[in-house]
Amino acid sequence: MRKIKCVGILTSGGDAPGMNAAIRAVTRSAIASGLQVKAIYRGYEGLINNEIKEFTTENVSNIIQRGGTILKTARSTEFLTVEGRKRAYDNMVEQNIDALVVIGGNGSLAGARIFAEEYDVPCIGLPGTIDNDLNGTDSTIGYDTTLNTIMECVDKIRDTATSHERIFFVEVMGRDAGFLAQNSAIATGAEAAIIPEDSTNADQLEQFIGRGIRKSKNSSIVLVSESPKCGAMYYAERVRKEYPEYDVRVSILGHLQRGGSPSANDRILASRLGVGAVQALKEGQRNVMIGIRNDEVVYVPFSNAIKSNKPVKKELIDVLGILSI
């Protein structure tokens, strides 16, 4: 096995609060272990275009509290091609990068897995996504901060919903995973959450109307996971048509969910995972995601981390149902 002397680091896909803390942790941990660090800007696109710079410990000073990612990020269609990955590998060889640390979500880690298989490059993934939808880790970098951001927004919406006796449909991110909607609904005392995992044959809107507002409530808040077909606007239109007696409003939180200074939990998580990534490389690990399970750092094979949708616990759905009476 080739001895690792230089580690490349990149952030890919959607940004998440805490990515900078992870960049800082990987950089300083690698340098402390006698390794060189090369920062790759704009994700896989930057690797293809050779946007690479050597990092020292000073490059990551005063970034732990900043949202977003100082390395920038991008979604690369070229990296999906054989030719694009060949260019990326050639640049790694030219820059003497022996291993790659990829901070990102499902698509980013899937890309790292293919790249590692094609070119026998040791790749380590860090779960950087606000959706919390990667298997093998209890939480992903950015999830806690985003949950708190949503909670603060919904608390404010609650004030106006109560004043005007309205139903508010609040749309949050998480197209394929309902963790943000479900847990922010519990945290804010919302009346319901409409999430992809609960999309059985039962009509979630009918369940909500029947259980909640018809009985005793003159204002309600429903958290809805974003969806191109049945997001918050879809459900609001249905209420206007099917239950015209209710005053309905929609609030789509959008990209403000991605911003903001990372929470203490996300800074600590990112720091532990970043150090864990370098430790994994020193141990000869490859093609694994670093996760946290039961407060312990674990190594999760890429194939397990991205293999299927991570389920929302039914217990959480039950808790919301009980508390929304």
> Across the strands, what pairs with 293?
296
* Per-residue pLDDT reduced to its tens digit, 75-105: 899 999 999 999 999 999 999 999 999 999 9
- Single out the catalytic residue among 15, 98, 131, 144: 131
| Catalytic residue flag (residue 98) | no
Say if residues 36 and 54 touch (Cβ distance below 8 Å): yes
Tens digits of residue pLDDT in 189-223: 998 899 887 655 457 777 777 665 544 556 789 99
pTM higher than 0.85, yes or no?
yes
Q: How many residues does the chain have?
A: 325
The number of CA neighbours under 13 Å toward the Cβ of 103 is 41
CA distances from 285 to 12, 40, 138, 280, 305 (A): 21, 21, 21, 5, 15
Please determine, for residue 307, whether its predicted confidence score (pLDDT) is greater than 80. Answer: no
SS3 content of the chain, % helix, strand, coil (to 5): 45, 20, 35
CA distance 207 to 46: 48
Nearest to 184 by CA among 316, 314, 297: 316
